A and B are shown apart, each in its own frame.
Chain A
Amino acid sequence: MTTVVEVRDLRMRYGDTDVLTGVDFHVEAGEVVCLLGPNGAGKTTTIEILEGFRIRSAGEVGVLGHDPATAPEDWRARTGVVLQSWRDHPRWTPRRLLDHLGRFFEPYSEPGRPRPHDTALLLETVGLTEHADRKLVTLSGGQRRRLDVAAAIVGRPELLFLDEPTTGFDPQARREFHDLIQRLAAAEGTTILLTTHDLAEAEKLATRVLVLAGGQIAADDTVDGLARRVEGEATVRWRVGAERRTAAVTDATAFVRDLLDTHGDALADLEVRRASLEEAYLSLVRRHESGQQDAAARLFTEVAR
Chain B
Amino acid sequence: MNAATHAWRLGLRRGWTEFVQSIRSPQDQGYYLFTAVLTVGYLWTQRDEVVDGTDLTAPTVLLPSILGALICFGMVIGPASSLAMEKEDGTLLRHKAVPHGVQGYFAGQLLFHVLGLLPQLLVVLVPSFLLFEGLMSEPTGWLTVTWVVLLGLVATLPLGLVLGGLVPSPQKLGTWGMLPILFLVGISGIFYPLEQLWGWVQVLAQAFPVYWVALGLRSAFLPDSAAALEVGESWRVLETVGVLGAWAVVGALVTPVVLRRMARRQTGSQVEAAREASMQWVR
Contacts and interface: CB of A to CB of B under 8 A. Distances in A.
8 contacts: A44-B269, A51-B97, A53-B266, A54-B267, A74-B3, A88-B93, A104-B104, A108-B99
Contacts of B3: 73-74, 107-108
A35 interface: no
A86 to B, nearest CB: 5
A88 B90 contact: yes
A103 B267 CA distance: 23
Interface residues of A, number: 34
Contacts of B1: 106-107
A155 to B, nearest CB: 7
Interface string A87-126: 1110110001000110111111000000000000000000
A37 to B, nearest CB: 15
B94 interface: yes
Contact of B99 (A53, A76, A89): A76
A77 interface: yes
B164 to A, nearest CB: 15
Given A51-B97, A84-B268, A88-B90, 4 more contacts: A76-B101, A86-B275, A103-B10, A152-B97
Interface string A67-80: 00000011011001
A199 interface: no
B46 interface: no
Contacts of B267: 48, 53-54
A80 B269 CA distance: 17
Main secondary structure of the interface of B (DSSP, over half): helix
A163 interface: yes
B14 interface: yes
A151 interface: yes
Contacts of B282: none
B29 interface: no
B269 A48 contact: yes
Given A84-B271, A96-B17, A106 B6 contact: yes
B31 to A, nearest CB: 14
B25 interface: yes
A155 B21 contact: no
Contacts of B10: 100, 103-104
Contacts of A76: 97-99, 101
Contacts of B230: none
A32 interface: no
B13 to A, nearest CB: 7
A83 to B, nearest CB: 6
A81 interface: yes
Nearest to B7: A104
A100 B13 contact: yes
Nearest to A90: B89
B100 interface: yes
Contacts of B94: 83, 85, 88-89, 101, 151
Contacts of B275: 86
A96 B275 CA distance: 25
